[in-house]
Chains A and B, each alone.
Chain A
Amino acid sequence: DAGVIQSPRHEVTEMGQEVTLRCKPISGHDYLFWYRQTMMRGLELLIYFNNNVPIDDSGMPEDRFSAKMPNASFSTLKIQPSEPRDSAVYFCASSLLLAGALTDTQYFGPGTRLTVL
């Protein structure tokens, strides 16, 4: 399996611009997660989906952030307008909750390093 795929790997943009990060989960996985990693706050869960439906978006910092999952193989995280404090590494992860299991392991993508100037 190719694992979780994220694009782009690096993004540099100017304040005020729209940024779109993309994620392809592992085929067959039914959960998808977006995390943000910064030196100050560590790894934070932003939002997660189950079967393409957003379950918990309480970690989304503000209305400038939005996430969609139009189908089981694709998700986007959009920041509009972007600000310098959004600079971070954004990870996408996916997992599969097997029938009868209580949880399963999350597998992470390589991350997107976002720099907002």
Chain B
Amino acid sequence: AQTVTQSQPEMSVQEAETVTLSCTYDTSESNYYLFWYKQPPSRQMILVIRQEAYKQQNATENRFSVNFQKAAKSFSLKISDSQLGDTAMYFCAFMTDQGGSEKLVFGKGTKLTVNP
């Protein structure tokens, strides 16, 4: 079974600085998908960024980028120019490409606080 590990339960960063959230996963499959979701205090789950394992290029969405290291099974999220609105729980998630399954497996999350 696939597992997703987020080793940092909590992190904080000063506004305008850069922060990196860690995520590792375990799978025997060669093709899969990885996601970062953000959950602000409103509880809404919001997609931040996604990465297909077959793509070597790291995904980027504005201030958010990932460092995808397939061999190391690592998928970290970098937030540049942190803003107060980035304060939220961040969840890393994995989806297999096998058997047509659409199941997302989530990590436990990292609580990020952006300080003014």
Contact = CB atoms under 8 A, between A and B. Distances in A.
A60 interface: no
Given A31-B102, A48-B103, A93-B45, 4 more contacts: A33-B102, A48-B102, A102-B97, A107-B47
Contacts, number: 49
Nearest to A39: B108
A48 B43 CA distance: 21
Q: How large is the interface on A (under 10, 10 to 19, 20 to 34, 35 or more residues)?
A: 20 to 34
A45 B94 CA distance: 12
B91 A45 contact: no
Contact of A105 (B35, B43, B44): B35
Interface in A41-96: 42-43, 45, 48, 50, 55-56, 89, 91, 93, 95
Do most interface residues of chain A lie in helix, strand or loop, or is the interface mixed?
Answer: strand
B25 interface: no
A42 B50 contact: no
A110 B44 contact: yes
Contact of B47 (A55, A91, A103, A105): A105
B44 A103 contact: no
Interface string B30-53: 010101010000111111001010
Interface of B: 31, 33, 35, 37, 42-47, 50, 52, 91, 95, 97, 101-109
Contact of A56 (B33, B46, B101, B109): B101
A110 B43 contact: yes
A108 B44 CA distance: 7
A111 B44 contact: yes
Contacts of A89: 43
